[in-house]
Amino acid sequence: MSVTAPSKFIRLTERIHNCVHCAEHLPLAPRPVFQANPKAKILIVGQAPGTAVHETGIPFNDPSGKRLRDWLGMSTETFYNEALVAIVPMGFCYPGRGKGGDLPPRPECAAMWRAELLSHLPNIKLTIAIGRYAIDWHLKPRSSMTLQAIVAGWKDYLPEFLPLPHPSPRNTMWLKKNPWVEAEIIPTLRNQVSEILGNE
């Protein structure tokens, strides 16, 4: 990394935190929520903050985050250690609510910020793509593939990537119908996370 990279990274994160580009489309005031550090080894990619995360400004500070940390076998302290774990959702601000739950992340967000921010994370060894929007951007599966089919083919993406369904309580029934996720994928995920982080 060049000598000027740290200051460039800091300026970039400041610009993102101050972004109001989608303000007119958002139900609440813009509040970009993400966690990043050039030292991070694991990248977690979700969809967009929910209301609880919007209120606190802390990523995955909700029931989804509790289940995700359990899947990872990771303590809260480690999860929020930005030098180890980057949390960069597809949309940084709460997008609002639709009939079936939260709306999709605003597409402008990834177009404006994603590639540039990820270019400052050179040490990522595992990217965990959660949900369809994260999976489509990072893994680029065929559009005809269902989320279930993509997740079922999880071994094809290792060791750099791992697709996961969303850990939201809304997905509890789906997870019960697909017990292989927690029986097969999660033990592998925990082992890989442990190997990457070592004694950190």
Domain boundaries, the chain: 5-197
| Structural contact between residues 107 and 81, judged by C-beta atoms closer than 8 angstroms | no
Write down the pTM of the prediction. Answer: 0.94
Q: Which helix (H) or strand (E) holds 188?
A: helix 186-197
**pLDDT value at position 100?**
77
What Rg value do the Cα atoms of the chain yield, rounded? Answer: 16
pLDDT at 22: 95
**From residue 150, how far is each of 23, 44, 135, 147 by CA, in Å?**
33, 17, 9, 5
> Which pLDDT does position 5 carry in this prediction?
61
What distance in Å separates the CA atoms of residue 189 and residue 17, rounded to the nearest whole number?
A: 30
pLDDT of residue 200: 58
Q: Which fold has domain 5-197?
A: Uracil-DNA Glycosylase, subunit E (3.40.470)
Given a cut of 70, the residues of the chain with pLDDT beneath it are 1-5, 199-200
20 by DSSP, 3-state: which?
A: coil
